[in-house]
Structure 1
């Protein structure tokens, strides 16, 4: 907005999130796009407009610029991006579409797919050095990182910029461990991950940009979103989540080293640890494999669930108006379903009418970005009071209570069944005490099976200091006193933690306060940024429930959901 305001251009933002009020977070309301010269949006922000039948809001659409178009290969968002581009081409046939990517191996495929002209620049503007150093252990690796980071920061480019480093590792906890180690070596370093608040992340970005930081330590999962002007990239780990990084991800991360307007060259270090295995493969062999690899071809792959969602979105956006148009639209899209059967099922479920028009229920489903299974779950739960009884019977919070607001609990239960909170971790002190005492490696993630198995065993409890024993006993007592056959691998602990977060928010607590309470009471590490993001998604799920309740004229549930939305948003 600031950049284009000087040119007298109106800029609108359409992102469709950040409605929760919280300390250190940016509340970013959507703005009116109808009178804007430029709209900056997420894929979902624009698709929401189209699915809602509001394509006229973008009636004078001249150019659509799609950054990171290789995301079309993404497991979660790929088919949605493909569907959005196809809908834009159908609704705005005169609009120019430009796709940008630095990591697509088969750009001609994408150019053909969307009828674009390929403009290819094969040369890298900044030369890239790649180094492979085998490490004996974690300690030697940390010391080498410190040495490399110091050396790079003390090197200035011909353009007068200091060298700065991004270190990629495989967990949030390790980002803090590595950053703390570097700080002890008098290196200005910061951990950077999705669990931090918006303002903390923004401060780190500004400090790095002004060379007040020489190192940022981040997770591989954030590689696509990290845009620091670094000259050096160091790989502490080649794992992302629970899998090896793939050649496309590796290429994306390599690309962070060396900026044309800053640096003379980029430099990359891979530091595999000898003897470190994952999924039956050594880190040394994986490092060599990645260094010898090229980016992989990107492909658009639909499964049954995404096919139904996209067909419904096409009809909801009025991009498709009859069966002939649907067959023509999907002629070159490989979907694993029969289009005729899909339409017949949607009519039977009341998502579309016999004359190919979207119904209120279908529109509510589509603009909420729900799968049809999730929409049907909400629809059937609206009038199913046995659903509430079954939920309360298993709920760590409500099975202990005699009185509660049944309608409120039902709406909360429905939203929780759509998405439970996931990003909880055992405190580092408890994890280290158990790992050292039992001489085993296990996940720091609270809901991982290895963690659940260990924290529910008497042997692990015996190895802890009394203070930490009390915390784990409280955890078991509050959330794992269930009769589930698969206890402790049932969902009761995850459900219980999710309920605590919601009810603390309903009491007006901020994500920072909720995080502190979970740590004090249970020795659980939960980042405020993760609580904020999950509450934001919780509000979206409440929106979906409200829309479907409205479609079926369930005013009592609609009113109760509206009340909950305001409480969660405002605290």
Structure 2
């Protein structure tokens, strides 16, 4: 540690935190040029020290070159956690740190007073659209969980953000942190980066599948646990708590997270001393959130258990996470949001179901990458000799399927989501709207810096962009004069408000039709845009909804929509 070319105060702080020797991936990152300004892609398992790699680069760059650092995360909870980690440097007078995650209609000029800005991918996209003046001072960007570029809903935003920042900022250093993925080399080539790839973990991981009360692990070993309740999830959680460990249960819905927390608490509660959790209960009780949720959480925490999902407030999640880190809460039942970067390891991880339901897709199997993200939370450094990740199967045949498809398989390749035309429309308009006069070269430069162009060739990407430009001009979002593109007032506002231009077109056309608008008519208007998920129409509802669509003046007429689509929109609006 002493040999690192870093400020002495920073090195003293690391030693105080107990960091006297670097992990192997951290050493490899140093050798790859981390402290010499090189771009890096670090692909390594959970808890392998990726965050410290980012901290080393930020301290070096910010303190020596007096530039700003951007730390990008996919989730608000993760942004808040990273901000807290950087606060320790602010307390020593090394860096000034800020976090921003909300209000997509502001340029947040106040952030210009800070050295390190932690924010979500969507927030930085909004700041670029609002032309935040301090962005030109950024000299280093850390993209945490960069593999989420492959996410169908949010991946295109991260990709476009990195492409725009790379095209507008000269000599910016990019550190991309990723889970173990199949095509990390391709990501590194796209970012002109050195690749640091490692399978090292501080705590060995065993992955297994449970059927009844028997667990078969990937190393061939078998473990039989006592069946006390007949429910393997409850019994496995109870077993690890009795042995002095902690457990994370990943469920596929918020409802299941609450349900399993309640069931497990009835057995684990006997093993918990109320005095240990009394302060947590009191802190949770005095919140301003809905009293019924706080009361439910207090009753669970009294018994050493909690649930965790995106529906909780930041304060509630913080209390639960801190209680778990301090060993006061023994079991947390959570939706997979907790697997996406939040640092909360446990001795045993239980994956309740590898399937998930979505309105548009129905029931589907989660990606292999997500499965391994959840499994990677098993094993708490300095406390556990090993971690266990266990998926639950109902039959031997299903157990074999889980082993084949998840345990023994490599994660999927990361692919660009800008291939989706809706994403391309939004981000091409944002590129034009974020400059006073955008040239064809500016658009080419932006597109050439995307992962989309890297994977599918720049020529193919530019052909798609030309069609998008014609649409944007036709609908009045941009004007074209020669090779210069300018956003109209409409285009500027649509970009700032984060709306798909096609959705804006739909809204504007329908609003011209509305002469006397009722609440239902405006709700139906909102439900016409693609961003709003539509409810499925049941057979027994068709006659009533069909009559309403055909006869009611409260329903907006469809242009090219079929009757089923209109009924689905109306059902959603009535909700």
Q: Does 1:349 align with 2:479?
A: no
Counterparts of 1:148 and 1:174, CA distance in 2:
17
After superposition, give the CA deviation of every residue in 1:49-88 in whole Å (9 maximum; x if it has no partner).
211233x322221111110000111111112111110110
Residue 299 of structure 2 corresponds to residue 189 of structure 1: no
CA offset digits 1:326-355 (Å, max 9, x no partner)? 335434354385433332332232222223
Deviation string for 1:211-239 (max 9, x for gaps)?
12211112245532553221111122111
**Which residue does 1:330 correspond to in 2?**
447
Query: In the alignment, does 2:319 pair up with 1:203?
Result: yes
In 2, are the aligned partners of 1:91 and 1:319 still within 8 Å (CA)? no
> What is the aligned partner in structure 2 of residue 219 from structure 1?
335
Q: Deviation at 1:287?
A: 4.2
Asked if residue 120 in structure 1 is aligned to residue 197 in structure 2, the reply is yes
Where 2:134 maps in the other structure, the secondary structure is helix
Query: Do the aligned residues in 2 keep the contact of 1:480 with 1:487 (CA within 8 Å)?
Result: no
Aligned mates of 1:327, 1:115 — CA distance in 2: 18
Aligned counterparts of 1:103 and 1:319: Cα–Cα separation in 2:
40
Q: Could you tell me which residue of structure 2 aligns to residue 314 of structure 1?
A: 431
Q: 1:142 to 1:380 in 2, by over 3 A?
A: farther
Alpha-carbon displacement from aligned partner over 1:13-32 (angstroms, at most 9, x marks no partner): 2212499xxxxxxxx99672
Map 1:336-485 to 2 at 5 A: 337-354=463-480, 355-386=484-515, 395=520, 410=522, 414-415=525-526, 417-418=528-529, 447=535, 449=537, 452=538, 482=548
CA positional deviation for 1:152: 1.9
CA contact (8 A) 1:238 1:287 kept: no
1:303: how far off?
A: 1.6
Could you list the per-position Cα deviations for residues 198-256 of structure 1 after superposition, in whole angstroms to 9, with x for gaps in the alignment?
Answer: 33323222221221221111224553255322111112211122211221111111111
Which whole-Å deviations, capped at 9, do the CAs of 1:407-432 have from their partners, x for residues lacking one?
Answer: xx85x665555589879xxxxxxxxx
Q: Displacement of 1:196 after TM fit?
A: 2.8
Q: How far is the alpha carbon of 1:357 from its aligned partner?
A: 2.0
C-alpha contact 2:99 2:119 (8 A) present in aligned 1 = yes
Structure 2 residue aligned with 1:175: 257
CA–CA distance in structure 2, aligned partners of residues 492 and 115 of structure 1: 49
Map 1:61-100 onto structure 2 (within 5 A): 61-100=138-177
Structural mapping, 1:235-314, within 5 Å: 235-241=351-357, 242-274=363-395, 282=398, 284-301=400-417, 302-314=419-431
Q: 1:270 to 1:18 in 2, by over 3 A?
A: same
For residues 107 and 498 of structure 2, the distance between their equivalents in structure 1, rounded to whole angstroms, comes to 19
Question: Equivalents in 1 of 2:549, 2:531: separation in Å?
Answer: 20
CA distance in 1, matches of 2:233, 2:387: 16
CA separation of 1:342 and 1:254: change in aligned 2, threshold 3 A:
same
SS at match of 1:271: strand
Q: What SS does the corresponding residue of 1:228 show, helix, strand or coil?
A: coil
Q: Distance in 2 between matches of 1:248 and 1:319?
A: 41
Instruction: Measure, in 2, the Cα distance between the counterparts of 1:77 and 1:382.
Output: 28
Q: Distance in 2 between matches of 1:62 and 1:420?
A: 34
RMSD (Å), alpha carbons:
3.6
Q: Evaluate the alpha carbon distance shift between residue 381 and residue 12 of structure 1 in structure 2; reply closer, same or farther with a 3 A threshold.
A: farther
Aligned counterparts of 1:420 and 1:358: Cα–Cα separation in 2? 23
Q: Counterpart of 1:528?
A: none
CA distance in 1, matches of 2:572, 2:260: 29
Question: Would the aligned equivalents of 1:65 and 1:99 in 2 still touch at CA under 8 Å?
Answer: yes
Query: How far 1:487 sits from its partner (Å)?
Result: 11
Check the 8 A contact 1:365/1:375 in 2, yes or no: yes
Q: Under a length normalisation based on structure 1, what TM-score does the superposition of the two structures give?
A: 0.64
CA change 1:105–1:198 in 2 (3 A) is same
**d(CA) in 2 for partners of 1:45, 1:18:** 6
Is 1:33 aligned with 2:111?
Answer: yes
Larger deviation: 333-342 or 245-254? 333-342
1:47 pairs, out of 122, 125, 148, with 125
**Structure 1 residues 340 and 237: alpha-carbon distance in aligned structure 2, compared to 1, 3 A threshold:** closer
Match of 2:238 in 1: 150
Return the offset for 1:321: 2.7
* Counterpart Cα distance in 2 of 1:239 and 1:142: 22
Q: Which residue of structure 2 lines up, in the alignment, with residue 166 of structure 1?
A: 248
Q: Is the 8 A contact 1:16 1:30 kept in 2?
A: no
More displaced 10-residue stretch of structure 1: 187-196 or 108-117: 187-196
CA contact (8 A) 2:104 2:123 kept: no
Match of 1:103 among 164, 174, 180: 180
Aligned length: 413
Secondary structure of the structure 1 residue equivalent to 2:343: coil
Q: Whose strand fraction is larger, Structure 1's or Structure 2's?
A: 2
Shift of 1:266: 0.7
TM-score by length of structure 2 reads 0.64
